[in-house]
């Protein structure tokens, strides 16, 4: 079946922080190997491995210096081959995180390009002369300052939408595209089943590289991402690789709207299977309440179905932990973690679980800036100061948003270093591993972990929960997000109280739905005509036959 990805559940492994098998403080392939049975037991189908190619590690693997080799910290190519084979033996597929918008500045292509204007590889990257002593245009990088850095030897600037150690590849050069097709094919031949395509909405730069209308605020989200060129390159990639080998694809496309997303995922366009969009997790100033989610998922469903497909997630390695960010990690940690799990696994679209969310891992709070590792973090701090925050407020903002919140080691046990490593971890462990860890939760039938397992099993049992239609239920409610998933065999009603207060709801449908699963003690009855949900309560009902 070519659309198997619709039934799949993906689990993202940030290898560096997952499990360290050799005691050097860095997670590795052997560490993932050691946990394959854990992942199988959880019930996931696809393992997304964060970038593992040789890297200068300025951005933890998102700056590749050789696409045909692996990071020695993670292990050898032979170990990776075993990991792929062992995953396949257990019926799990491997998704590779492919970073092709840019390379590392240590990649031989860049070294060659930089060596002189006349070098045949010069136009593997994007160069432009300065304009009146300034950068060629006003684009800002996502990480810090201008997106251009001058190369002193040649006097020209190169473009880098991320750090200056991540120069952007020139996709308008067919030689570059051919190299990238070759790389992707080479990995498919090594058993890779799926690709997560990093920053893929940025590959096609607008012709002439014009100034952005608003230089500093989220410039790429205006008319600089999702260009016609980007779609052209993806169609070509699909023809050369994705479609040819039926690999599953998900594009990281920040700033896409439901309308612009259709161009990536409608099947007849032959580009990608699905994309990640971020309106529900990025700061927008709007509260993420029931009304928000109701409108958000309705809009996406309407835009993408039936010709496209969605990807659903609340956490990844770039975001704060969602139980802290969207839920309540103080009074209702387990409840809110389970509520988002319920939403994740009953919405329309392929669910993506980020390591640690299955035990309700929270944000961390280190005591000093030196304990943080992420290079993007410094920008958050400086931006907060620039907004007029004092240093205390800026620090709060930084702690809340740092990408390192998601990157602290996976909490396996209550013991030393959360059981992640025998050595010194590359980044500190969250002290709350003493109470939040896999070992305890695996034993506790009511744990967040066991709740994820039940939800995953449900989604596998009832195809309506994966492929069925999505429809809002009832009137708009200030606290409760309610919807129905339905196919020709079955219908499921999902009720989610996205608040720390009890919520009362009228259904007027006594006796038609039977209770299936929830995150509080099971109510003894069928869905009543009126009901009260506890803070962060989630319930799933099934329509009676």
CA–CA dist 440, 434 (Å, integer)? 9
CA–CA dist 179, 161 (Å, integer)? 21
Looking at 23-31, 108-116, 276-284, 402-410, which segment touches Ca ion (CB under 5 A)?
A: 23-31
Q: Which residue is nearest to ligand GLC (CB)?
A: 62
CB of 162 to ligand GLC, least distance (A): 4
CA–CA dist 253, 220 (Å, integer)? 11
Considering only 20, 28, 45, 59, the residue that binds ligand GLC (CB under 6 A) is: 59
Considering only 52, 62, 171, 301, the residue that binds ligand GLC (CB under 6 A) is: 62
From the CB of residue 54, how many other CB atoms can be counted at a distance below 10 Å? 20
Considering only 17, 28, 42, 160, the residue that binds Ca ion (CB under 5 A) is: 28
* CB nearer to ligand GLC: pick between 62 and 109: 62
Catalytic residue status for 252:
yes
Bridge-based pairing of strands 503-506 and 530-533 is: antiparallel
Nearest 5°: the CA angle 20, 26, 27 is 45
CB of 20 to Ca ion, least distance (A): 4
Residue 162 lies near ligand GLC (rule: CB under 6 A):
yes
**From ligand GLC, Ca ion, none, which one binds at residue 20 (CB under 5 to 8 Å depending on kind)?**
Ca ion
**From Ca ion, ligand GLC, none, which one binds at residue 24 (CB under 5 to 8 Å depending on kind)?**
Ca ion
Considering only 8, 199, 344, 359, the residue that binds ligand GLC (CB under 6 A) is: 199
H-only helix segments in 270-376: 290-304, 322-325, 333-346
The rounded radius of gyration (Å) of the Cα atoms in the chain is: 23
* CB nearer to Ca ion: pick between 233 and 426: 426
**From ligand GLC, Ca ion, none, which one binds at residue 252 (CB under 5 to 8 Å depending on kind)?**
ligand GLC
From the CB of residue 502, how many other CB atoms can be counted at a distance below 10 Å? 12
CB of 274 to ligand GLC, least distance (A): 16
Q: Which of residues 232-271 bind ligand GLC (CB under 6 A)?
A: 252
Bridge-based pairing of strands 64-70 and 93-99 is: unpaired
CB of 52 to ligand GLC, least distance (A): 14
Considering only 66, 318, 487, 526, the residue that binds ligand GLC (CB under 6 A) is: 318
Long-range contacts of 509-514 (CB under 8 A, 24+ apart): 511/544, 512/543, 512/544, 513/541, 513/542, 513/543, 513/544, 514/541, 514/542, 514/544
Residue 22 lies near Ca ion (rule: CB under 5 A):
yes
Q: Which residue is nearest to Ca ion (CB)?
A: 28
**From ligand GLC, Ca ion, none, which one binds at residue 99 (CB under 5 to 8 Å depending on kind)?**
ligand GLC
CA–CA dist 383, 400 (Å, integer)? 14
Bridge partner residues of 93 (DSSP): 46
**Which entry of 28, 168, 198, 404 is annotated as an active-site residue?**
198
Bridge partner residues of 481 (DSSP): 496
* CB nearer to ligand GLC: pick between 252 and 358: 252
Considering only 9, 13, 16, 20, the residue that binds Ca ion (CB under 5 A) is: 20
CA–CA dist 348, 531 (Å, integer)? 25
Length of the chain: 545
**Residue 128 token pair:** 């432009």
Helix 448-461, helix 333-346: angle, nearest 10: 20
CB of 51 to Ca ion, least distance (A): 16
CA–CA dist 482, 212 (Å, integer)? 40
Residue 198 lies near ligand GLC (rule: CB under 6 A):
yes
Is residue 530 within 8 Å of residue 500, measured between CB atoms? Answer: no
**How many residues sit in the footprint of Ca ion (CB under 5 A)?**
5
Catalytic residue status for 310:
no
Q: Report the sign of the C-alpha dihedral through residues 258, 263, 264, 265, in that order.
A: positive
CB of 252 to ligand GLC, least distance (A): 6
* CB nearer to Ca ion: pick between 24 and 240: 24
CB of 74 to Ca ion, least distance (A): 8
95 to 124: interface string for ligand GLC, x by CB under 6 A: ----x-------------------------
Residue 71 lies near ligand GLC (rule: CB under 6 A):
no
According to DSSP, residue 277 is labeled -
Residue 26 lies near Ca ion (rule: CB under 5 A):
yes
CB of 97 to ligand GLC, least distance (A): 8
DSSP-based three-state secondary structure for 517: strand
Compute, in degrees rounded to 10, the torsion defined by CA atoms 422, 426, 427, 432.
-10
**Which entry of 20, 140, 252, 537 is annotated as an active-site residue?**
252
Bridge partner residues of 197 (DSSP): 98, 251
Residues near Ca ion, by CB under 5 A: 20, 22, 24, 26, 28
Residues serving a catalytic function are 198, 252
Residues near ligand GLC, by CB under 6 A: 59, 62, 99, 162, 198-199, 252, 317-318
């Amino acid at each position: 079946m070519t659309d198997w990805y619709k039934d799949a559940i993906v689990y993202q492994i940030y290898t560096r922080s997952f499990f360290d098998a050799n005691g050097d403080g860095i997670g590795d392939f052997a560490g993932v190997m050691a946990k394959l049975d854990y992942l199988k037991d959880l019930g996931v189908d696809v393992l997304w491995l964060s970038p593992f190619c040789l890297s200068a590690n300025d951005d933890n693997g998102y700056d590749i210096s050789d696409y045909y080799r692996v990071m020695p910290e993670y292990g050898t190519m032979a170990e990776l081959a075993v990991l792929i084979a062992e995953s396949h033996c257990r019926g799990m597929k491997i998704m590779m995180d492919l970073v092709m918008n840019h390379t590392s500045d240590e990649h031989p292509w860049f070294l060659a390009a930089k060596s002189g204007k006349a070098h045949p590889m010069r136009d593997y990257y994007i160069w432009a002369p300065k304009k009146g002593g300034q950068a060629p245009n006003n684009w800002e990088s996502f990480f810090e300052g201008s997106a251009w850095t001058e190369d002193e030897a040649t006097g020209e600037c190169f473009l880098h939408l991320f750090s200056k150690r991540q120069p952007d590849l020139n996709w308008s050069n067919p030689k570059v595209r051919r190299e990238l097709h070759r790389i992707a094919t080479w990995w498919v031949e090594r058993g890779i089943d799926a690709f997560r395509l990093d920053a893929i909405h940025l590959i096609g730069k607008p012709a002439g590289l014009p100034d952005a209308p608003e230089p500093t605020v989220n410039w790429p989200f205006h008319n600089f991402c999702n260009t016609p060129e980007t779609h052209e390159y993806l169609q070509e990639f699909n023809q050369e690789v994705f479609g040819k080998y039926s690999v599953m694809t998900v594009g990281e496309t920040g700033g896409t709207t439901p309308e612009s997303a259709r161009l990536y995922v409608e099947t007849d366009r032959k580009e990608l299977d699905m994309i990640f969009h971020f309106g529900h997790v990025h700061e927008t100033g709007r509260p993420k309440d029931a009304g928000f989610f109701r409108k958000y998922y309705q809009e996406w469903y309407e835009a993408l179905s039936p010709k496209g497909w969605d990807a659903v997630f609340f956490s990844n390695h770039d975001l704060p932990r969602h139980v802290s960010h969207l839920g309540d990690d103080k009074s209702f940690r387990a409840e809110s973690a389970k509520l988002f799990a319920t939403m994740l696994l009953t919405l329309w679209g392929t669910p993506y679980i980020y390591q640690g969310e299955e035990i309700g891992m929270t944000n961390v709070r280190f005591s000093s800036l030196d304990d943080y590792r992420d290079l993007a973090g410094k920008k958050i701090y400086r931006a907060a100061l620039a907004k007029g925050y004092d240093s205390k407020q800026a620090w709060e903002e930084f702690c809340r948003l740092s990408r390192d919140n998601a990157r602290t080691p996976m909490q396996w046990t209550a013991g030393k270093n959360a059981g992640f490593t025998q050595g010194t971890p590359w980044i500190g462990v969250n002290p709350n591993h003493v109470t939040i860890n896999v070992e305890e939760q695996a034993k506790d039938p009511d744990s967040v972990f066991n709740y994820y397992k039940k939800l995953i099993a449900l989604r596998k049992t009832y195809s309506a929960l994966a492929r069925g239609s999505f429809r809002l239920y009832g009137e708009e409610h200030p606290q409760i997000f309610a919807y129905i998933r339905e196919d020709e065999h079955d219908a499921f009603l999902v009720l989610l109280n996205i608040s720390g207060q009890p919520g009362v709801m009228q259904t007027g449908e006594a006796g038609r739905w039977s209770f299936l699963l929830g995150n509080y003690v099971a109510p003894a009855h069928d869905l009543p005509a009126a009901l009260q949900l506890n803070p962060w309560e989630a319930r799933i009902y099934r329509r009676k036959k």
